[in-house]
Chains A and B, each alone.
Chain A
């Protein structure tokens, strides 16, 4: 963007005219600007998504036939272990942190995160941890005890690989904790004075809930891994029954983090969907406070349900009942969100662009994953399908149909803000179609496979499962192909796409009130809010912010559209917009 354009679009003062990144090479360096770090997070995690995806396709290729004919069982074990570890710790969790880094300061009117250098430190822990993990394949002793690394299995499989796994996950956990400290302090301390906590965009609420969850649960995993590494390296027997230890204690410590981890992976995208749906259906969000507080409720409940992963590990019956009930209760705040989104869509002027398609796909597939989750919460059913493909189907509907579709929805939605250019809608829709077909073709048959009794984490299976496995495998190839339109579209649009302008979606949240891409330090003056973030029903504001007015929200003066009187028809139920 030239200097003249910058000056023209947002009255950027001379002091701030140069953006943080001047050439593309700058993205590979140490930067403290939250927007650069956000994009670094997103691109890095997407690279790991591709690596983890290749591993998934290798796993599926092995499972195309009942025999072990494509890779050896040892390699197969390493592949599914690394696939899970990479997808969770190096793709979905950092992608959420990437959006949070990019959007939180913009959404709350801050110049940067509270601790910009700490932010850079948190990001730069991720590439070494990822390289370390993948390098274990090269040293010939990759971790192969599953991503749960349950002892005593993980203590006898391979010391080097397991040690690498522990160090890598500890590094990624530390990065995650440092990031969440930054988000919490930024959200609580750096909002513009006019932004009451109930005027905060819902993505910020979601990140608040997520960060609190990371802060409380991740250290417990670290404690478990410290004890596990002593078992592995120093010969202690904390989790080794032969020396009097108790492997179930590891399971408690592991799931105390790893169950909340699924909410750490889904809550940011609940937040993103809550931004995308009202904007692209031109309606105020239904139940702002209900969505905001249900995030906190999910966060809290997420901390007291971990043992539902351990129904078959011999925990007492009354404990099973407790965890069954708390797990089922989580369906309530989640349902509140789903119904609020549907009510927002209801009667809206829906624009079916790529972002919105992915958002609607998110809601649909996540509901399937959520329902199978309620089924799994029931102890008798869980005992029946424990460690079968039903569980694999459930978690992929939640994490692929939920988080990954959410990531893509968010990328399509904020791409104009991040790059200043529009994505190509046609190829975005091709990407969506291939993804939704591939996703359902891969994971829907797995429900049936699980009910029929096919075990997870095995390279060889009964020939009666062959047909369904073939369908799954071909579906996974479609998923692999679906990434290509996206990659090409993203790169091409970033370079040559149509100019987006400041606010292509005519949105009301603060990040759209500055230039695209925003200059360093985001805003030339402290913005002043005149209205809530989702007041699309207001008279004159029904078409959003006119592009001719560069900073209507910032001024709040007589010409500001947002000072307009509310439309009486819409204002009839003011509670909905609070």
Chain B
């Protein structure tokens, strides 16, 4: 392969984006990645839909819900946590807006704040777990509560790790720019997704 002459016109055809030419033959087109992410989130959303559907089915089968003897859930801490998570979605959006203006410093600050807010949500959730008066196997509601919030918490953790990852990558000047910011955009979309799922979850478990 190395000894052959490379036709520059052909190379041009293979690599529409000169910046990506160094990646090799199998570069992934940014538009495809964004679309792929949305398709992936449909699958993620369907896992949660399955869990929500099961929760509603359990609720419908049992005459009393939550089953008798389940301690009342405190609303203050999860309420504050919810406001924190919803706000963090707006903060995350600022990071995206900043990078689209080529403001890497601004984007990094907003990313850092989002990561801290996400981590705060997780700490709040763990704190809530340790202070609840029921355990995983107390009854059907308790089990569903822990599995659903825990599965969502896992997704928040992945989101925080994704944000930390793009923050780490953005330390290289010019890694993200007005033209090229798929990482930040993907983390943002994922973060909004996690947020929307939490709003449904909060409504189902705490309010309904």
Contact = CB atoms under 8 A, between A and B. Distances in A.
Contacts of A116: 26, 28
B134 to A, nearest CB: 12
A223 B51 contact: yes
A253 interface: yes
Contacts of A230: 136, 143, 147
Contact of B143 (A215, A237, A520): A237
Instruction: Say whether chain A's binding surface is mostly helix, strand, loop, or mixed.
Output: helix
Interface string B24-64: 01101101110110011011111111110110011001100
B67 interface: yes
B131 interface: no
Nearest to A243: B140
B42 A215 contact: yes
B7 to A, nearest CB: 6
Interface centre among B39, B44, B47 (most CB of A within 10 A): B39
A238 B50 contact: no
A220 B137 contact: no
Contacts of A249: 54, 57-58, 61
Interface residues on A, range: 35 or more
A224 B147 contact: no
Interface in A188-235: 188-190, 215-224, 226-227, 230, 234-235
Interface in B74-122: none
A189 B140 contact: no
Nearest to B143: A236
A189 B143 contact: no
Contacts of A181: 36, 39-40, 43
B151 to A, nearest CB: 7
A115 B36 contact: yes
Interface stretch (A11-19, A64-72, A350-358, A527-535): A11-19
Contacts of A118: 36
Contacts of B39: 181, 184-185, 215
B65 to A, nearest CB: 11
B139 A244 contact: yes
Contacts of A108: none
A238 to B, nearest CB: 6
B7 A227 contact: no
A246 B58 contact: yes
A540 interface: no
A117 interface: yes
Interface string A93-124: 00000000000000000011011111000000
B22 interface: no
Contact of B47 (A189, A220, A252, A521): A220
A219 B39 CA distance: 13
B57 A252 contact: yes
B54 A215 contact: no
A238 B140 contact: yes
B92 to A, nearest CB: 23
B12 to A, nearest CB: 12
Nearest to A32: B26
Contacts of A218: 43, 46
Given A222-B50, A246-B57, A13 B137 contact: no
B6 A227 contact: no
B144 interface: yes
B28 A115 contact: yes
A15 B4 contact: yes
B208 interface: no
B13 interface: yes
B130 interface: no
Given A236-B136, A244-B62, A190 B54 contact: no
Given A112-B26, A181-B43, A245-B140, A238 B54 contact: yes
28 contacts: A13-B7, A14-B4, A14-B6, A15-B7, A15-B14, A17-B4, A32-B26, A112-B25, A114-B32, A115-B28, A115-B36, A181-B43, A185-B35, A188-B35, A215-B46, A218-B43, A220-B46, A220-B49, A223-B46, A223-B50, A226-B147, A244-B140, A246-B61, A249-B58, A252-B53, A252-B57, A253-B54, A256-B50
Given A221-B50, A244-B67, 8 more contacts: A15-B11, A17-B1, A181-B43, A185-B35, A223-B46, A223-B47, A236-B143, A253-B53
